Amino acid sequence: MYHYRLFYPRQTCLLSAQYEGKSNVTIVDWVTPASVKPPMVVVALNQKSFSLELVESSKAFVISTLPEAMMEKAMAIGSATGRVIDKVDEYQLTLKPAKTVKAPLVDGAFAWVECELVAMFNSGDHVLVLGEVLEAHFPDEENSKQAMLFNWGSKSYFGMRREMVKFEKEDEKKPEKKEEKKEEKKEENKKEDKKEDKPSPKEENKKEDKPAPSKDSPKEKPNEKK
């Protein structure tokens, strides 16, 4: 059952954590505010997530809101694991120190939320991580229009302006080609219609072979009134 797909598209966020010199980032879609006073957020992380281990050990994490400009990096980060590669080096990310926690801010994002770990709850194959917001960096008015969403059904990212971007090569088909094919079909149909309208050679010969009416042939009299 893929019930969670009913809740997409969702805003694309990046969770970053650091412990004993090791940093990692991961894409998170299941993020939600949990309280206003005190300010809290909840994020769901997979039980096997490397970032989950770093959050549990460091007791802190940062949630970054990503802009459209980071679409390709978001796809790559979400498809890799920090256990195998160093995502920060692999995808050339720049980290900045946060104001209140040890977890780093990811440069290039346009909003950040610094959180201190409050509690963790097992939730099936995920863990719900509850964090208290110690610092929030809000975007300026211009950058706030660049928020990015992730749509699970088509596995694509797009901005709030609904500019869809797909990464599967097989889906990258230009609409111009479809229009060209339609025009070609129309032309073919026209040619076929013209062929059907033209009389066949046999029909033309029959017309030519018909004798013209002779002058001596009796003319039909019009019906006389009785």
What values do phi and psi take at 8, rounded to 5?
-100, 155
Q: CA 204, CA 64: separation in Å to the nearest integer? A: 80
C-alpha separations of 196 from 98, 104, 183, 185, 193 in Å: 77, 74, 20, 17, 5
- Segment 190-219 shows an average pLDDT of 57
User: Does the predicted TM-score (pTM) go above 0.85?
Assistant: no
Count of structural domains, the chain: 1
What CATH number should be reported for the domain holding residue 10?
2.30.110.10
Asked whether residue 161 is domain-assigned, the answer is yes
Per residue in 75-86, pLDDT tens?
A: 889 888 888 899
Per residue in 16-71, pLDDT tens?
A: 999 998 999 999 989 999 999 999 999 999 999 999 999 999 999 999 988 888 88
Residue 5 contacts residue 31 (beta carbons within 8 Å):
no
Strand partners, 64: 14, 112
Asked whether residue 34 is domain-assigned, the answer is yes
